C-alpha cells in the first residue's frame, strides 16, 4: 500500500522521484491546473508549451512524462489530464481529480516517492478536493504481485512508496481527517482486491472466514465462524446445499462492529445495519456447469463478501459511531457425485423450501440463508452485496452496479452514497409481475425464473427472505467487482474493491 503524507514544501523543492501536476482541456487548448506555478517557473514558464508538444491534451487520466534536467528537485514531472477545465468560479470535479490522481499514481508503480499539489487545485484546504487526491493516491497505489516469480519484472513492480500532498497548512484538522480516512479506505479496498484476486485454490470458504477473522478481530470487531456442522444444526439448507458438491466445506461468518456514540455510550438496540456478502470462492456452475470461458473469472464470485469484510474493517478502524453487522455466506460451487442436482429441494434457514432448477443460480441460495440470519436480529436495514447475475452486465455494463430495494428511501440513500464515493450505481426496479416466474410445482419457490430481467428476478427471489417491514437494499455488483479490461483511473485490472467506498460512505452518512 502507498503511504500518504502531508508537506508544506513547494513542489519545485520537494524531495521526490516525481511530481504530479494537472492539465486540462480548454477552448484555447491545454491549460495547466493550479498547483504547478513554481514548477512552471523553474522550467522557465515552458511547462504548458512543452506538455503540448509532447502530446498532452488534458483528456481525463492521460499521463505525460517530462524530465526536468535538474531544474526542479524531482527529476520527473508527470502531467495528468483532469478532463475539461471548469468554467470560471466552478471548481474541478473531485470525482475527476480522484480518477486522474489514481491514473498518475498507477503509472508511477515502482517509484519510491511522489509529490503533488493537486489538493490545492480548487483553492486552499477544500476538504472535498483533499479527500479526492488522497483517495486517488490510496486507491491507485495498488498492485497484486504475490504470484510473480520475477520480482523485478515490469508486471511485479510495487506500488508507489509514498505520495506527499503539498498543502498550505499540514495541521489543518479537515485536511488531516481527509488523509486519515483515505488511508483507511485504501487499506480496506486493497484487502478486498487481494481477496478477489487470490486464486480459488488458495481461498477456500474456510480461508475466507479466516481472512475475515484475522483482519476484523484486530480492528476491534467480534467475529464468529459457523462451520458445516454448525450450519447443519442451524438449518442453513441453502449454504449447505450449494457447498455439498465441493471438497472444501462451506462457512457462514458473522462480523460485528459495535460503535461508540461518545462517553462510552452504545447505539440503541435495533439500529444496526446488516451487510450480507456473497462469498462463492469458485463458481463452476455446479452440475448446471458453466462453459470454460464462463468460468474464467469465477474466483471473483466472492467479491460481495470481500467488500463486506473490507467495509467492517474500515468501519472499525475509523471507529464509526454505529453498529454494523457483516455476514459472509461462503461456499464453493462444484460439480461432483455429492453435488445438488437440478430439481433437488432445499429447506432454507427459517423453513422455506426451494426447488433448485439450475445449480448455477447458487448465489441466491447462500444469500437467502444469510439474509434470514440477519433478519433474526432486528436489523435497522439489511444491505446485501453480490456478484449475482450475468444479467447485471447486460443491463448496466461492467462499471455500473445495480441498486434494488423494497424501500424507496434506502434505494436513494445507497445510490447517493455511491455518487459521493465516486462509484457508479443506478436504481433498478423489482417488478411484482416477475415474481410468478419463480413459482415451483413442488416447493415454495424455484431458484430459476424468467430469463428476461434476470437481475430483477434474482432480486425478487432474495426479497422473499427479508422479514416484513425491514428496509432492504440489494447491490448486484457482478460486473463492477471485477475489471476484465485495461486499468483505468484508480481501478486496476482484476479485483476492483467495488463497492467498498460506497458502503463506507453509506455507513458514515447514517452515523
Closest CA to 61 of 29, 23, 92: 23
Distance CA 65, CA 75 (A): 11
Which of 71, 393 has the CB closer to ligand BES?
A: 393
Q: Which of residues 93-122 bind ligand BES (CB under 6 A)?
A: none
Q: Is 299 one of the catalytic residues?
A: no
Binding mask 273-302 for Mn ion (x = CB under 5 A): ----------x-------------------
Binding mask 315-354 for Mn ion (x = CB under 5 A): ----------------------------------------
Q: Of these residues, 364, 373, 411, 435, which one is catalytic?
A: 364
Which of 93, 283 has the CB closer to ligand BES?
A: 283
Q: Which stretch binds ligand BES (CB under 6 A): 133-141, 240-248, 358-366, 422-430?
A: 358-366
Distance CA 164, CA 11 (A): 10
DSSP structure string for 157-219: PPPPSEEEEE-S-TT-HHHHHHHHHHHHHHHHHHHHHHHHHS-GGG--HHHHHHHHHHHHHHT
Q: Of these residues, 3, 41, 148, 290, which one is catalytic?
A: 290
240 near 349, Cβ under 8 Å? no
Q: Which does 275 bind (CB under 5 to 8 A by kind): Zn ion, Mn ion, ligand BES, none?
A: none
Which of 257, 465 has the CB closer to ligand BES?
A: 465
Distance CA 473, CA 459 (A): 9
311 near 293, Cβ under 8 Å? no
Query: What pairs with residue 252 in β-bridges?
Result: 226, 329
| Nearest residue relative to Mn ion (C-beta) | 360
Distance CA 239, CA 222 (A): 22
Q: Which of residues 460-479 bind ligand BES (CB under 6 A)?
A: 478
Q: Which of 301, 332, 369, 505 binds ligand BES (CB under 6 A)?
A: 301
Query: What pairs with residue 20 in β-bridges?
Result: 78, 116
Q: Which stretch binds Zn ion (CB under 5 A): 92-100, 215-223, 273-281, 285-293?
A: 273-281
Number of residues counted as binding Mn ion (CB under 5 A)? 3
Which of 225, 367 has the CB closer to Mn ion?
A: 367
181 near 188, Cβ under 8 Å? no
For the bound state, the minimum distance from the C-beta of residue 374 to Zn ion, rounded and expressed in Å, comes to 20
Q: Which does 184 bind (CB under 5 to 8 A by kind): Zn ion, Mn ion, ligand BES, none?
A: none
The rounded Cα 160 to chain-centroid distance in angstroms is 21
Which of 228, 283 has the CB closer to Mn ion?
A: 283
For the bound state, the minimum distance from the C-beta of residue 335 to ligand BES, rounded and expressed in Å, comes to 13
Distance CA 104, CA 100 (A): 6
Closest CA to 404 of 440, 457, 366, 446: 457
Q: Which of 207, 228, 283, 423 binds ligand BES (CB under 6 A)?
A: 283
Closest CA to 109 of 55, 50, 151: 151
Q: Which of 86, 127, 350, 390 binds ligand BES (CB under 6 A)?
A: 390
Side-chain-facing half-sphere of 246: CA atoms under 13 Å? 28
For the bound state, the minimum distance from the C-beta of residue 363 to Zn ion, rounded and expressed in Å, comes to 4
Residue in this structure with the C-alpha cell 462451520, named with its chain if needed: 227
Q: Which of residues 351-410 bind Zn ion (CB under 5 A)?
A: 363
For the bound state, the minimum distance from the C-beta of residue 386 to Zn ion, rounded and expressed in Å, comes to 8
178 near 131, Cβ under 8 Å? yes
Residue in this structure with the C-alpha cell 442451524, named with its chain if needed: 234
Q: Which of 7, 170, 358, 437 binds ligand BES (CB under 6 A)?
A: 358
For the bound state, the minimum distance from the C-beta of residue 475 to Mn ion, rounded and expressed in Å, comes to 17
365 near 279, Cβ under 8 Å? no
For the bound state, the minimum distance from the C-beta of residue 421 to ligand BES, rounded and expressed in Å, comes to 22
277 near 305, Cβ under 8 Å? yes
Which of 2, 389 has the CB closer to Zn ion?
A: 389
Residue in this structure with the C-alpha cell 484538522, named with its chain if needed: 173
417 near 502, Cβ under 8 Å? yes
For the bound state, the minimum distance from the C-beta of residue 232 to Zn ion, rounded and expressed in Å, comes to 22
Residue in this structure with the C-alpha cell 491507485, named with its chain if needed: 140
Side-chain-facing half-sphere of 501: CA atoms under 13 Å? 31
Which of 315, 386 has the CB closer to Zn ion?
A: 386
Asked if 476 interacts with Mn ion (CB under 5 A), we say no
Q: Which of 361, 396, 460, 500 binds ligand BES (CB under 6 A)?
A: 361
Q: Is 364 one of the catalytic residues?
A: yes
Which helix (H) or strand (E) element contains residue 131? helix 127-140
Catalytically active residues are: 290, 364
- Where do contacts with ligand BES occur on this chain (CB under 6 A)? 283, 301, 358, 360-363, 387-391, 448, 454, 478
Q: Which residues bind Mn ion (CB under 5 A)?
A: 283, 360, 362
Amino acid at each position: 500500500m502507498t503511504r500518504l503524507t502531508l508537506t508544506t514544501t513547494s513542489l519545485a523543492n520537494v524531495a521526490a522521484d516525481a511530481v504530479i501536476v494537472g492539465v486540462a482541456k480548454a477552448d484555447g487548448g491545454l491549460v495547466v491546473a493550479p498547483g504547478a506555478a513554481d514548477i512552471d517557473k523553474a522550467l522557465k514558464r515552458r511547462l504548458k508549451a512543452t506538455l503540448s508538444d509532447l502530446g498532452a491534451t488534458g483528456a481525463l487520466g492521460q499521463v505525460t512524462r517530462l524530465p526536468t534536467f535538474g531544474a526542479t528537485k524531482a527529476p520527473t514531472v508527470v502531467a495528468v489530464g483532469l478532463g475539461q477545465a471548469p468554467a470560471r468560479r466552478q471548481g474541478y470535479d473531485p470525482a475527476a481529480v480522484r480518477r486522474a490522481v489514481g491514473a498518475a499514481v498507477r503509472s508511477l508503480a515502482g517509484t519510491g516517492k511522489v509529490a503533488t499539489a493537486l489538493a490545492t487545485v480548487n483553492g486552499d484546504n477544500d476538504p472535498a478536493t483533499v479527500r479526492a487526491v488522497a483517495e486517488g493516491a490510496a486507491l491507485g497505489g495498488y498492485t497484486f504481485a504475490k504470484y510473480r516469480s520475477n520480482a523485478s519484472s515490469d508486471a511485479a513492480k510495487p506500488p508507489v512508496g509514498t505520495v506527499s500532498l503539498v498543502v498550505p497548512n499540514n495541521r489543518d484538522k479537515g485536511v488531516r481527517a481527509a488523509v486519515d480516512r483515505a488511508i483507511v479506505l485504501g487499506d480496506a479496498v486493497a484487502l478486498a482486491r487481494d481477496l478477489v484476486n487470490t486464486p480459488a485454490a488458495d481461498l477456500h470458504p474456510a480461508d475466507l472466514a479466516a481472512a475475515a477473522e484475522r483482519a476484523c478481530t484486530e480492528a476491534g470487531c467480534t467475529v464468529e465462524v459457523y462451520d458445516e456442522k454448525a450450519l447443519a444444526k442451524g438449518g442453513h439448507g441453502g449454504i449447505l446445499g450449494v457447498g455439498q458438491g465441493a471438497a472444501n466445506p462451506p462457512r457462514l461468518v458473522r462480523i460485528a462492529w459495535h460503535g461508540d456514540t461518545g462517553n462510552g455510550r452504545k447505539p440503541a438496540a435495533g439500529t444496526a445495519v446488516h451487510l450480507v456478502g456473497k462469498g462463492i470462492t469458485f463458481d463452476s456452475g455446479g452440475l448446471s456447469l458453466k462453459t470454460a470461458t464462463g468460468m474464467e473469472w469465477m474466483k471473483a464470485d466472492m467479491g460481495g463478501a470481500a467488500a463486506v469484510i473490507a467495509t467492517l474493517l474500515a468501519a472499525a478502524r475509523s471507529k464509526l459511531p454505529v453498529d454494523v453487522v457483516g455476514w459472509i455466506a461462503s461456499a464453493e460451487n462444484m460439480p461432483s457425485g455429492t453435488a445438488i442436482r437440478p430439481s433437488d429441494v432445499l429447506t432454507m434457514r427459517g423453513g422455506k423450501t426451494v426447488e433448485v432448477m439450475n445449480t448455477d443460480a447458487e448465489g441466491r441460495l447462500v444469500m437467502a440463508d444469510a439474509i434470514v440470519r440477519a433478519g433474526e436480529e432486528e436489523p435497522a436495514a439489511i444491505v446485501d452485496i453480490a456478484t449475482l447475475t450475468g444479467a447485471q452486465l447486460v443491463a448496466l455494463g461492467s462499471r455500473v452496479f445495480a441498486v434494488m430495494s423494497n424501500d424507496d428511501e434506502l434505494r436513494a440513500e445507497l445510490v447517493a452514497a455511491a455518487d459521493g464515493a465516486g462509484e457508479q450505481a443506478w436504481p433498478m426496479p423489482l417488478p411484482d409481475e416477475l415474481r410468478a416466474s419463480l413459482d415451483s410445482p413442488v416447493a415454495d419457490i424455484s431458484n430459476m425464473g424468467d430469463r428476461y430481467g434476470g437481475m430483477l428476478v434474482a432480486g425478487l427471489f432474495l426479497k422473499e427472505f427479508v422479514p416484513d417491514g425491514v428496509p432492504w437494499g440489494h447491490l448486484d455488483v457482478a460486473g463492477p467487482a471485477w475489471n476484465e479490461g485495461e486499468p483505468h483511473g484508480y481501478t486496476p485490472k482484476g479485483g476492483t474493491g467495488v463497492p467498498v467506498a460506497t458502503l463506507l460512505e453509506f455507513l458514515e452518512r447514517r452515523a
